Amino acid sequence: MKKRFLVIMVCLFIPSILFSETGIASWYVGDTPNALTANGEEYDENSNNAAHKTYIFGTIVEVRNTQNNNKTIVRINDRGPFIKDRIIDLTPKSAKELDMFISGIAEVELTIISTPEIPESKYLRVGDTSWYTIQLGAFSNRKRVYENYVKLWNLGYYPLVEETQSSLLRLSIRWIEEKEKDITIKILEELGFLNPLIKASLPPK
């Protein structure tokens, strides 16, 4: 019982570590009129949207100016900033709410409020989502495909077999999360699947 209690306590404190970060915020405007953000929406300087390097599009984030404690709520729909030590790019509207419009930059704390199950993007590209399909190859030997299918299934993956126009069998595994991607690729290499094709995918329904 004591061990179980300790595990529960650790789990309760993990989210505050995983979903907060501190760094420098800046603000930006579109390069051209009707400029598009990385998720395919039109940039709007009067919105509370923002750019982040990795957060899933549609993620809602609280941004707190650590110097004056002003806060604003933003939605991630773009990528950036691409300057060292900066962690988020805001619209002028959000920058004014944090009272950092004049200074241009400020130290902030980001706290994730919510993350969408399906990324809010007009595209489906590697990096747009935190889920992947990994294509292992196309094979003519059906017995080998079946054996690998069973092996992957027993390892806890969700394999998928599709027949190509040239009658080959394409073998993939679906629904790989970002946190599992690197270790999955290493496991696949040990199984003999070298240089797999990594594609973005939507999360499982």
Identify the three-state secondary structure at position 111. Answer: strand
Helix and strand totals (H; E) in the chain: 4, 10
Q: Are residues 137 and 99 in the same domain?
A: no
Identify the domain boundary among 86, 114, 142.
Answer: 114
CATH number at residue 66: 2.40.40.10
Alpha-carbon separation of residue 12 from 67, 104, 113, 172 (angstroms)? 28, 36, 16, 35
Q: Are residues 85 and 167 in the same domain?
A: no
What range does the domain containing 77 cover?
Answer: 20-114
**How many CA within 13 A on the CB side of residue 98?**
34
Q: Are residues 25 and 108 in the same domain?
A: yes
Q: Are residues 110 and 139 in the same domain?
A: no
Q: Are residues 97 and 153 in the same domain?
A: no
Identify the domain boundary among 60, 79, 114.
Answer: 114
Between 60 and 127, the more confident residue is: 60
Q: How many whole angstroms separate alpha carbon 90 and alpha carbon 68?
A: 17
Going by pLDDT thresholds of 50, 70 and 90, the confidence category of residue 12 is: very low
Domain assignment of residue 139, yes or no: yes
Identify the domain boundary among 79, 114, 149.
Answer: 114
- pLDDT tens per residue across span 153-175: 999 999 999 999 899 999 999 99
Q: How many whole angstroms separate alpha carbon 112 and alpha carbon 131?
A: 18
* pLDDT for position 191: 94
Q: How many whole angstroms separate alpha carbon 116 and alpha carbon 142?
A: 38
Average pLDDT, rounded, for the chain: 88
Going by pLDDT thresholds of 50, 70 and 90, the confidence category of residue 84 is: confident
Range in 21-35, 96-110, 127-141, 149-163 with the lowest mean pLDDT: 127-141
The pTM of this model reads 0.64
Domain assignment of residue 172, yes or no: yes
Q: Are residues 52 and 94 in the same domain?
A: yes
Q: Are residues 108 and 164 in the same domain?
A: no
Going by pLDDT thresholds of 50, 70 and 90, the confidence category of residue 44 is: very high
Domain assignment of residue 126, yes or no: no
Reply yes or no on whether the pLDDT at 184 is more than 70: yes
Identify whether the C-beta of residue 158 lies closer than 8 Å to the C-beta of residue 174.
yes
Domain assignment of residue 124, yes or no: no
Q: And the tokens for 202?
A: 């939507």
Q: Are residues 67 and 139 in the same domain?
A: no
Q: Are residues 38 and 109 in the same domain?
A: yes
Please report, rounded to a whole number, the percentage of residues in the chain having pLDDT higher than 90: 71
Q: Are residues 24 and 104 in the same domain?
A: yes
CATH number at residue 191: 3.30.70.1070
Q: How many whole angstroms separate alpha carbon 89 and alpha carbon 35?
A: 15
Domain assignment of residue 56, yes or no: yes
Domain assignment of residue 153, yes or no: yes
State the total domains in the chain: 2
